[in-house]
Copies of this chain bind each other. A is one copy, B any other.
């Protein structure tokens, strides 16, 4: 089959320019100024639009070990699915356990990713701090091309980075010319709210958004932004889900600070009514962190993209089957909401649930 895409702005790695693109049998066969459509070939008017050879998903978690199980989508099936949808590259995350050697974790993830069928690279999470971490960040940047370090401000008692880790890691990143990224939620507040909800007996999916209100996210976003401002490091905030974090980003950008914001497809399209779904499994399947928010926040996120205060969209792709979720629930020390904390079923097909972690 042959298709002519006319008049779009062709975005290549090296330059952007207005051109026509002729595709035949799934391949680009010609790029030029005024290509005539072959007889019978459909013509797409791309005037005023970008034409890209493929998309980049800057936020995925293939075969992630998490709460006693492992994300069911591995690097092969996951990148194959991505390609099928036009995503030709993913940026996944190396997430060392606290006290785990960073290089060791990095080598593990690199090995897992060998079987990928699309392009890939990694953000590396900084989940603890000592001199070896300081050293390894340098090795990763200088010898392995890593240029982005991730920090989880939530998940107290697990991978949470407190202010001390943030300040040390951000300081090291700017020395190395790397960018820092954060999952912005105040982990102490979340922990407190989870405990309080558990004590009242609210342990179902309906408790999940109550345990992680927008104010927790906005606070953490603002904190990361201000620490980055003082330490003069560029910052990228993943999966902004609410007005509060968007406002923190907007304030900083209006002052000229280099802060960037990502938004997930899910937060743009799904609202928090899912947590009150009469079918427990449907409600539980949507548990992820940050949670889905009310319509007010969805409107704000779209406005954020429109204004340019948010720059990227991602999926946070992280699949768990329904039975895996049950396992996570069983091994969870605290309560049923925690069981699926930061997990959500994305779309279910057969016995397989496509889920995402924050």
- A192 and B171 within 8 A (CB): yes
- B223 and A219 within 8 A (CB): yes
- A219 and B226 within 8 A (CB): yes
The residues of B that contact A218 with a CB separation of less than 8 Å are 226
Report the separation of the CA atoms of residues A254 and B168 in the bound assembly, to the nearest whole angstrom.
32
- B253 and A186 within 8 A (CB): no
Beta-carbon contacts under 8 Å, A237-277 to B? 250, 253-256
Report the separation of the CA atoms of residues A293 and B4 in the bound assembly, to the nearest whole angstrom.
47
Report the separation of the CA atoms of residues A279 and B166 in the bound assembly, to the nearest whole angstrom.
38
> Chain A contact residues: over half helix, strand or loop, or mixed?
helix
Does A45 make an interface contact (CB < 8 A)? no
- B189 and A230 within 8 A (CB): yes
The residues of B that contact A171 with a CB separation of less than 8 Å are 192, 196
The residues of B that contact A230 with a CB separation of less than 8 Å are 189, 193, 213, 215-216
The residues of B that contact A308 with a CB separation of less than 8 Å are 253, 308
Does A36 make an interface contact (CB < 8 A)? no
Report the separation of the CA atoms of residues A216 and B230 in the bound assembly, to the nearest whole angstrom.
8
Set B188, B191, B226: member contacting A186, Cβ < 8 A: B226
Report the separation of the CA atoms of residues A255 and B302 in the bound assembly, to the nearest whole angstrom.
10
The residues of B that contact A162 with a CB separation of less than 8 Å are 162-163
The residues of B that contact A17 with a CB separation of less than 8 Å are 14-15
Report the separation of the CA atoms of residues A296 and B295 in the bound assembly, to the nearest whole angstrom.
11
* Min CB–CB distance A208 → chain B (angstroms): 15
Given known pairs A254-B309, A256-B307, the reply for A188 and B216 (CB within 8 Å) is no
The residues of B that contact A14 with a CB separation of less than 8 Å are 17-18
Does A222 make an interface contact (CB < 8 A)? yes
Set B164, B215, B250: member contacting A188, Cβ < 8 A: B164
Report the separation of the CA atoms of residues A226 and B218 in the bound assembly, to the nearest whole angstrom.
8
- A255 and B303 within 8 A (CB): yes
Does A132 make an interface contact (CB < 8 A)? no
Residue from the set A164, A222, A254, A256 with the largest chain B CB neighbour count within 10 Å = A254
Does A16 make an interface contact (CB < 8 A)? yes
Does A306 make an interface contact (CB < 8 A)? yes
- B213 and A188 within 8 A (CB): no
Does A91 make an interface contact (CB < 8 A)? no
A residues with CB within 8 A of B: 14-18, 162-164, 166-168, 171, 186-189, 191-193, 196, 213, 215-216, 218-219, 222-223, 226-227, 229-231, 250, 253-256, 296, 303, 306-309
The 6 closest A-B pairs by CB, nearest first: A256-B306, A219-B226, A15-B17, A163-B188, A256-B307, A167-B188
| 9 A–B pairs (Cβ distance < 8 Å), ordered by A | A16-B16, A163-B187, A167-B188, A167-B189, A219-B226, A219-B227, A253-B307, A253-B308, A308-B308
